[in-house]
Structure 1
Amino acid sequence: MNEDCASPSAEPPGRYSNLPLVDPCLANLPVSSNGKQVIGERTRLFRERFFPAVTDQEWNDWHWQLRNRVTDLRTLERFIRISEDERLAIEQHTGPLPVGITPYYASLLDEYNPLQPLRRTVVAVTDEHRRVPGEADDPLNEDHDSPVPGLVHRYPDRVLFLVTGFCSVYCRYCTRSRMVGNPGGEYRFNIKQWERALDYIAANPSIRDVLLSGGDPLTLVDSRLDWLLSRLRRIPHVEFLRIGTKVPTVLPQRITSGLTRMLRRYHPLWMSIHFTHPDELTPEVSQACQRLADAGIPLGSQTV
């Protein structure tokens, strides 16, 4: 094991660190030689079959990926053979945590096997609707420790900042299923709510660590994420920032040179990437991780 690789469970240091600009754990990941966005062979075959008119440029545009997400049973049936259990689960679903799968991630799903781990991650089954004694809508009891909407302050020196309820892909095991993908209700995410959270952080000098989560922070456009990070960086006692995200594994096209240039202005900045299974480590994901590492961002793998 490379001793230079930080443990994914290690806490960020309490003071600024002289970190290497490239994480040695990711230095040898395969990327395209010409610097363009790579497309894995499996994904290319999927695209040629189901999106024959779509160009490389369109496919590699993260906005196109979001506009063309799988969000209903009829569309999903184009790509995989739906089991009766999956069909019933999707037809019965109401409320938050809807179906949401990027075309890229759909290309990784097994067409015939409903037990494939990646398919189980994003396609609902009827067990999802079962309730057992002791089960809670808020299993981590985050709402109890929320002094203002969208902010969780459980430990004295750090806060969890929920900046959006949107994800590019909705994982069926989500511990925040009560709020994600639901634009209404008590969980609203907007600039006014951000301002209340920022005011709270600024008023509590014991807070040195801010973890951005959601939803997925990297689904925000560059300008909005830049604004939020810059506001946090203006708070003197906030020493470092962290981002929890699954975007590099489900929407690697989002990791653009423009995004990484912006992120590197806010060091020290850590990123925990949500991996579910080794099959997610495709050429596209490897390239996305390489770009983040080259921007000097230490990456952790958070299996959730």
Structure 2
Amino acid sequence: MKAITIGPTGQLVTKEVPPLAAPDHWPLIRVKASGINRADLLQRAGQYPPPPGASDILGLEVAGEIAFDCGPWRRGQRVMALLDGGGYASEVRVPPGQVMALADTLSFEQGAAIPEAFLTAYQALFALAGLRAGETVLIHAGASGVGSAAIQLAHHADATVVVTCSSEAKAEYCRQLGAHQAINYCSGPWPQACPGVDVVVDVVGGDYLKGNLKVMNRDARLVSLSMLGGRYGELDFAPLLSKRITLMGSTLRNRSEAYKANLISDFEAEFGAALAEGELRATVDSVYPWSQVETAHQRMTANQNCGKLLLSRE
């Protein structure tokens, strides 16, 4: 099979590689489109190795067609899948519980934009933070892939959605997705413009911890998903205790196969119909052919995208 691999000096190279061994009950997917995530950039830089046993090829989500009948899946069926790795390849083998049917109303590119972003957002908002209707949620990096998904899921669940972002163009993009308030942090300190919130979804870390604690209500919950702003932050125990705040950290990639299968099942039960019917949408910023994967990575590194960046094999 063909795959985009990391060369000896860190460059991305397309070459033939042997297919990966996998259990017979894992469906084989012929990949049509692959999602690009910031985790790919971190892995490429040597900062985010794949879990034990996972492919060292980049890529955490794909959409494509089932190659042959396997369990409930039939040859030619259109699917999307959450991966532990291996998405930048012409084919992947996937645990059956991590494969989802792709609605005929969605393109392969739209399908590849869904699994990692929407499942990460769903886990943070509902499985971990327990977001409820009527609560207010603060989503940092609102124009990112995960942020774009989180805005829509929270809005659909009748929560009030506040986001931070880095430009007025991104603020308008977030409002169009359903954000009730979008704060451009380049225009001034974001905590001063933020109302009290019940849930925070944070991919920044670092100094944002102090601001998060300031704007969080009593019994609020913070879910930290990344540390793009640094691994260390100042923790003031006074608001943590007086407000009874809960702090949580989470990743999705190193969760067990059973956990991911249950998460996907719950997500599809709650939001699958809304996705298929267009009430929720995969937000695609740009689609690149494999030959332009470096350009795609550069766009993400420069924080230029609104929504997902994708690779297409078409």
Bin of the TM-score, shorter chain as denominator length: 0.3 to 0.5
Structure number with the bigger relative contact order (C-alpha 8 A, sep ≥ 6) is: 1
Between Structure 1 and Structure 2, the one with more strand by share is 2
**Could you tell me the TM-score, scaled by structure 2's length?**
0.34
Instruction: Using structure 1 for the length normalisation, give the TM-score.
Output: 0.34
